[in-house]
């Protein structure tokens, strides 16, 4: 049995979606963020030393595994039976591997920086908030926003060349790429003047397996059309 250690509003939603696509049975262990810090609870450290989500436990293989890309590769290789991945030794497979690892290795760091610097003025002690605001604005204006835009334009260009990231067939790389695009739509206007990014988000949100994962996993802020949090 596969157990997903699922943190609300996190990348672990992708793992639930993947399992629904593969039609595999699984259980969910739910965890809630600290309402003040928005960090994962310390109880996750009992599952994995870093205390991050997603983490899965596969009781059939006595495996506990973290990292979204590693989890996706593990599940696809063990349970996929050729589903959700292109045939090896094809150009599509090379693209599949690229996007599978690009999502966390390249796409998420600037988005995370934007989130952190955006929160900085609110987290700073009251007397230092004007200075924190200037630091936040300067970092985003001079460095972060241009990098985020570079990636968002890259997605738009890539999706204009094929319906899905690895080619014309839906793969697990699209599941992996969903979170950066959803987060960027919410935090950085990724769907503004980028019709292919918007269309991608609509396509994934309309998939029955995506909707089933939402039903199992609970509230998820990026699930509505365009990736923007529900009001």
Distance CA 48, CA 10 (A): 16
Q: Which CATH number fits domain 2-79: 3.30.1490.20, 3.40.30.10, 3.30.470.20, 3.30.310.80?
A: 3.40.30.10
pLDDT at 179: 96
The secondary structure element, H or E, covering residue 63 is: strand 63-66
Fold match between domain 2-79 and domain 91-207? no
The count of C-alpha atoms lying within 13 angstroms of the C-alpha of 64, restricted to the half-sphere facing its C-beta, is: 11
Give pLDDT tens digits for 58-82: 998 789 999 999 999 999 999 999 9
Say if strands 63-66 and 26-31 run parallel, antiparallel, or are unpaired.
Answer: unpaired
Q: Which comes out higher in pLDDT, residue 183 or 122? A: 183
Residues in the chain: 231
As a dihedral over the C-alpha atoms of residue 128, residue 110, residue 17, residue 193, rounded to 10 degrees, the angle is 100
Pick the more confident residue, 214 or 117: 214
Class of 91-207 in CATH: mainly alpha
Q: Model-level pTM? A: 0.91
Per-residue pLDDT reduced to its tens digit, 87-99: 999 999 999 999 9
Asked if the model's pLDDT at residue 136 lies above 70, the reply is yes
Residues β-bridged to residue 56: 4, 65
**Averaged confidence pLDDT in the chain:** 91
The domain segmentation of the chain, as residue ranges, is 2-79, 91-207
Q: What is the pLDDT of residue 226?
A: 52
Q: What is the pLDDT of residues 181-229, one digit of tens each?
A: 999 999 999 999 999 999 999 999 999 999 999 999 998 888 764 544 3
pLDDT tier, 15 (very low <50, low <70, confident <90, very high otherwise) = very high
Q: Tell me how far CA of residue 65 lies from CA of 49, 59, 158, in angstroms.
A: 11, 11, 30
pLDDT at site 229: 39
DSSP for 70-131, please give it: HHHHHHHHHH-TTTTSPPTTSHHHHHHHHHHHHIIIIIHHHHHHHHHHHHHHHHS-GGGHHH
CB of 56 within 8 A of CB of 71? yes
By the 8 A CB rule, do 53 and 68 touch? no
């Amino acid at each position: 049995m596969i157990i997903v250690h699922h943190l609300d509003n996190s990348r672990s939603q992708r793992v639930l979606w993947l399992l629904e696509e593969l039609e595999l049975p699984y259980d969910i262990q739910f965890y809630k963020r600290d309402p003040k810090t928005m960090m994962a609870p310390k109880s996750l450290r009992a599952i994995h030393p870093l205390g991050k989500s997603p983490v899965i436990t596969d009781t059939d293989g006595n495996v506990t595994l973290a990292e979204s890309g590693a989890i996706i590769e593990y599940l696809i290789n063990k349970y996929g039976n050729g589903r959700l991945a292109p045939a090896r030794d094809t150009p599509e497979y090379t693209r599949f591997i690229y996007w599978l690892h690009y999502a966390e290795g390249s796409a998420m760091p600037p988005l995370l920086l934007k989130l952190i610097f955006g929160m900085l003025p609110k987290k700073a002690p009251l007397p230092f908030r004007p200075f924190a605001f200037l630091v936040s604005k300067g970092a985003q204006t001079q460095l972060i926003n241009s990098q985020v835009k570079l990636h968002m334009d890259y997605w738009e260009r890539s999706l204009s060349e094929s319906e899905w990231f690895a080619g014309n067939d839906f793969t697990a790389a699209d599941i992996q790429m969903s979170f950066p695009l959803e987060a960027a739509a919410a935090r950085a206007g990724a769907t503004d003047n980028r019709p292919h990014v918007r269309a991608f988000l609509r396509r994934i949100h309309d998939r029955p397996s995506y909707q089933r994962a939402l039903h199992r996993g609970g509230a998820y802020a990026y699930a509505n059309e365009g990736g923007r949090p529900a009001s």
